[in-house]
Amino acid sequence: MVDAASSMTSRQGAGRLWILAGLLALGLYDGVFVVKWWEGAQLPPLGDFFAFWSFGRFAAIAGAKIYDTAALVDYQRTLVPTLGGGYPYPYPPSFLLLLVPLGWMVLPAAYLCWIGGTFTLYVAATLGRHWRSLAGLALLTAPTTLISVISGQNGLLSAALLVGGLRSLPHLPILAGVLFGLLSFKPQLALMVPVVLFASRSIDALLAAAVTIVVFIAASSAAFGGSIWLDWIQGFPGYRQLLENNQATLLHLMVTMPAGMDAVGAPMIAGYALQLVCAGIAVVLTWRVCASGIGARATAMAILATVIVAPYVMIYDMPMVAAALAIYWRAHPPARLWEVALVIALFTSFLNMIENVVPFAAAVLIFALFLVIAFARDARSPGMLDPEVMP
């Protein structure tokens, strides 16, 4: 009996060493990738973060004029005279409350604060007090984090808000509601929030989310002018047209079924129909699990369902997928090799999508991963809360 226990402990220790070695190798790859990216970076500097930084600087001096695309692009060209087409501002006015302080800094300092701060929030939201663990190292070295670093985008922030809200929901519903309300800066990633809140009957969180949105509408209106929200709404047709005009250049970054159809030359309406079917399945299964309680399984399913139902989601939004895996696998370690292979294939597809079109791969693999978690045999009662999920 003692020998068997000792043998099992030895195998577990060897397994952890192999995992640690793999994560360190992945971290080395990430470092080399970032250095090569830095050396070969095109204008503007620091990827899309330049856009965020310029938004903050422009809003500080021009307020609601941020939605005047021509004026905004002209200003960006004063910062980088060789800039090409420029960057319009499609986000809600509330996001400017975060971007203006970044705009006060010099660009490199603002970038370091942005990446460092959002990654810290992301790890804290995902792992809480367990951040000093193999799971924490996995989040650091994950390809999804690498993509966030080189793009300078907001995927770490949106993941932190969604994941933090889901993890807080069972015991801190008011905090959860506030985090969900803040996620409204990227509305397409908040589509599953009402499903989760109504299914789990979390009225306190729902009210807190609504109040948070109202407060940020009032604060941004006071800071940038009372007309700024109307200006944002009136700009919707222009943003949609701009997105359609640039579809070809963005296609390789999109993690949706319609993008996959477009990539293979098929009618996009077929992609929307396929996405609608997958989204319907994801909503129904997530509702069923969340109605029994918010545990590791429900949290992971809600996160993956968010990606499945979103009409517009990019590879830089994928840190939430890594968070879903970290949360679920801490409670239910993978018992089958093919599950690990599925995840490796998914993250490999993310890396390939940085420069190449990989039709359907990421969208199909995310849906497959969702179904694996939804129908896992080793999952306990859907409503059973896992300690790892709690802050």
Residues linked to residue 254 through DSSP beta bridges, in sequence order: 314
Average pLDDT score over the chain = 88
pLDDT at residue 240 is higher than 90: no
Cα 117 from chain centre: 15
Judge whether 1 lies within some domain. no
Q: Is residue 74 part of a domain?
A: yes
Segment 107-128, tens digit of pLDDT: 999 999 999 999 999 999 999 9
- Residue 243 belongs to some domain of the structure: yes
Share of the chain above pLDDT 70, in %: 91
Number of domains, the chain = 1
| pLDDT tens-digit series, residues 129-138 | 888 888 888 8
Band of residue 389 on the pLDDT scale cut at 50, 70, 90: very low
Give 300's pLDDT tier (boundaries 50, 70, 90).
Answer: very high
Q: Is residue 100 part of a domain?
A: yes
- Predicted pLDDT at 10: 54
- Is 339's pLDDT higher than 70? yes
More confident call, 208 vs 268: 208
| Domain assignment present for 6 | no
Q: Which residue shows structure tokens 């080189």?
A: 150
DSSP 300: H
Beta-carbon contacts of residue 345 (< 8 Å; ≥ 6 apart): 361, 365
201-231 pLDDT, tens digit each: 999 999 999 999 999 999 999 999 888 999 9
Q: What is the pLDDT of residues 57-84, one digit of tens each?
A: 999 999 889 999 999 999 999 999 888 7
Determine the pLDDT at residue 384. 43
Among candidate residues 332, 327, 373, 297, the one with its CA nearest the CA of residue 136: 327
Domain assignment present for 17: no
Q: Note down the domain range covering 347.
A: 26-389
**Nearest-CA neighbor of 347 among 357, 332, 328, 361?**
361
Per-residue confidence band for 40, with pLDDT thresholds at 50, 70 and 90: low
Left if phi > 0, otherwise alpha if psi is -120 to 50, otherwise beta: which for 5? alpha
Per-residue pLDDT for 390 more than 90? no
The pLDDT of residue 3 is above 60? no
Q: Report the alpha-carbon distance of residue 12 to residue 207 in Å, rounded.
A: 45
Hunting for tokens 């970054």 — which residue is that? 253
- Residue 43's pLDDT band, with cuts at 50, 70 and 90, is low
Question: What letter does residue 254 receive in the DSSP assignment?
Answer: B
pLDDT reported for residue 382 = 45
Confirm whether 300 is domain-assigned: yes
Question: Average pLDDT, stretch 359-372?
Answer: 94
Specify if 193 maps to a domain. yes
Q: Report which of 381, 388, 96, 366 is spatially closest to residue 254, judged by C-alpha positions.
A: 366
